[in-house]
Structure 1
Amino acid sequence: MSAHDQLLVVIDPVARRSDGESVRIAKDVLCAGAEAKICLPDSPEEFSRALARRGSRRLVVLGDDRALLRTVTVLHRERELARGPLSLVPIGAPGSLHVAHALGVPQNAVTAARAVLDGVVRRLDLLVDDSDGVVLGDLRIPAVPGPTTALTGPSVWSTCRSLVRTLVRPDPTHLAIRTHRLRVEADGVLLSDVNAPVEWVSVRSLGGVAEVTVHPPFAPPFHTGARTLTVSGPDFRYRADTVVAGPVRRRTWTVRADAWGLTLPAD
């Protein structure tokens, strides 16, 4: 049996808890088409050890966007991304698989498992920052509030008090746009400085170039392409795919063209 037919199937613990039936079905499909070694890590440390011990086996991860991002991050930091492509069988809530689907991974677990066996490798770019963090899809600076932030919103009483204040005396800042003081440089060229507030900056790598979009308040956004992007200013957070990082005062991202391979359907 060739190395191509030997798989290391790493099943994320969140996938096991959230949808055990899909995990079982995906395992059956993979084991029917290849020699598969199943790994069930229960901690980030066990997850990293499993990746380090995969040998010549092709790596398959069963999980969501966070599992995919964790895998690519570990392989990048160990300088192991070039050793071979990886595959993902998406298992998780629909809202936890946006990155995977945007990269071309099938939405159905069975279809994705079959693509592991019969698909082709697509080379993809990677955004790498100066702290060795990675971005697979979209980067947004500053970060937008995530689902967990939304869950810790204002109480009923504070909402009522705010409504009463608005009815008595409308708040002139209610419709104000929140802006940020950021210095944005693309390949050393200054796009925006701290004296020109921006709403946010969005970045996506494509074809070996970072597509940078700066969103100023009350004006159309402007775009540019670059290999490196540096953002600095007062403490800010940023959202890299599904993960919010920071606060930091300066961060530089660099595009690594064709840095990693992902197995996707052939058609």
Structure 2
Amino acid sequence: MSAHDQLLVVIDPVARRMDGESVRIAKDVLCGGSEAKICFPQGPEEFARALARRGSRRPVVVGDDRALLRAVALLHRDRWLGDGVLALVPVGASVRLAHSLGVPAGAVAAARAVLDGSPCRLDLLVDESDGVVLGDLAIPAAHRTTPRAEAASVWTTARSLVRTLVRPAPATTAVRTHRLRVEADGVLLTDLDRPVEDVTVRAGLGGRAEVVVRHGTAEEPLRASALSVTVSGPDFRYRADAHVTGPVRTRTWTVRAGAWGLTLPVAAPAG
């Protein structure tokens, strides 16, 4: 049996709790088509130890986007990503990132892709503290509503609706702006004297990042393509995939072309 058929299947504990049936199906398919060693870590530390002891086996993560991000971050710090290939069976509440990368939906289809697919080299955004971004980077971080805040929002909306029955609603809504300096490959896109609504960065094709700076709805967004992006200014938070980090005053992200491998389904030949 080839090394490609020797798998280390790390099953995230959150996936087991949320959808044990999909986990069982994925495990059965993977064990039926390969020599698979199954690991059931109980938390992040055991998850990290399982990956560190992978040996020559190809790592397969069964879990959601957070489990994928955790695995990529650990393997990046281990300097394994450049030569190795990771595989994923998405199971959990949040798997949008996995699907956007091309991993199939459904335990059977994803497990079959692990066995029959081929490695695809993908770009990675890496910051100066060795943090990684697989998908979207949003600056500042989008506000995440807590259940208590959602309840308060519903109550506020109800009261606002009552008020609109008495007097017209205002024509415009205030938009929060931020003071940020954004540089793409050393070229200044916007400075602290010009408020911005948000900045988004995504590793695109060809080893370059796509940068979008929005100043307001009345203006066209500024767009740039760069190898590195630096954002600085007063304390700000940013969302890298599913994680919010900060506050920080400056951060630089650099594109690493083809820095990591993900097993994806083999594309069907055109018509």
- The TM-score normalised by the length of structure 1 is 0.92
Distance 1:149 1:228, change over 3 A: farther
Aligned equivalent of 2:31: 31
Does the alignment pair 1:215 with 2:209?
A: no
Aligned equivalent of 1:104: 102
Distance 1:157 1:120, change over 3 A: closer
Alpha-carbon distance in structure 2 between the residues aligned to 1:98 and 1:32:
27
Aligned equivalent of 1:118: 116
| Structure 1 residues without counterparts, runs of 5 or longer | none
Given that residues 122 and 260 in structure 2 are in contact (C-alpha distance below 8 angstroms), is that contact kept between their aligned partners in structure 1?
A: yes
| Cα shift at 1:80 | 1.7
Aligned equivalent of 1:46: 46
Does the alignment pair 1:9 with 2:9?
A: yes
Aligned equivalent of 1:74: 74
Does the alignment pair 1:152 with 2:160?
A: no
Determine helix, strand or coil for the equivalent of 1:152: helix
Alpha-carbon distance in structure 2 between the residues aligned to 1:176 and 1:65:
33
Determine helix, strand or coil for the equivalent of 2:178: coil
| Cα shift at 1:73 | 0.5
Q: Which amino acid aligns with 1:122?
A: C
| Cα shift at 1:168 | 8.2
Q: Which amino acid aligns with 2:7?
A: L
Alpha-carbon distance in structure 2 between the residues aligned to 1:173 and 1:253:
39
Alpha-carbon distance in structure 1 between the residues aligned to 2:35 and 2:214:
50
CA deviations 1:206-260 (Å, max 9, x no partner) are 2200000111112011211011100011111111111111111111100000000
Q: How does 1:1-267 map to 2 (within 5 A)?
A: 1-93=1-93, 96-146=94-144, 148-149=145-146, 152-153=149-150, 155=152, 175-206=173-204, 207-217=206-216, 218-267=218-267
RMSD over equivalenced CA pairs, Å: 2.0
Alpha-carbon distance in structure 2 between the residues aligned to 1:170 and 1:78:
59
CA deviations 1:9-31 (Å, max 9, x no partner) are 00000100000000001101000
| Cα shift at 1:149 | 3.6
CA deviations 1:49-91 (Å, max 9, x no partner) are 1111000001100001000000000111121212410000011
Alpha-carbon distance in structure 2 between the residues aligned to 1:139 and 1:6:
34
Aligned residues: 264
Q: Which amino acid aligns with 1:245?
A: T
Distance 1:170 1:248, change over 3 A: farther
| Cα shift at 1:130 | 1.3
| Cα shift at 1:117 | 0.6
Distance 1:265 1:151, change over 3 A: farther
| Structure 2 residues without counterparts, runs of 5 or longer | none
Determine helix, strand or coil for the equivalent of 2:82: helix
Distance 1:204 1:190, change over 3 A: same
CA deviations 1:100-133 (Å, max 9, x no partner) are 0110000111011001111010000000011211
Alpha-carbon distance in structure 2 between the residues aligned to 1:199 and 1:150:
25
Q: Which amino acid aligns with 2:35?
A: E
Distance 1:17 1:154, change over 3 A: closer
Q: Which amino acid aligns with 1:194?
A: L
Determine helix, strand or coil for the equivalent of 2:17: helix
- Compare 150-159 and 251-260 and name the one that shifted more: 150-159
Determine helix, strand or coil for the equivalent of 1:82: coil
Name segments (4+ residues, structure 1) moved above 3 Å.
148-151, 156-174
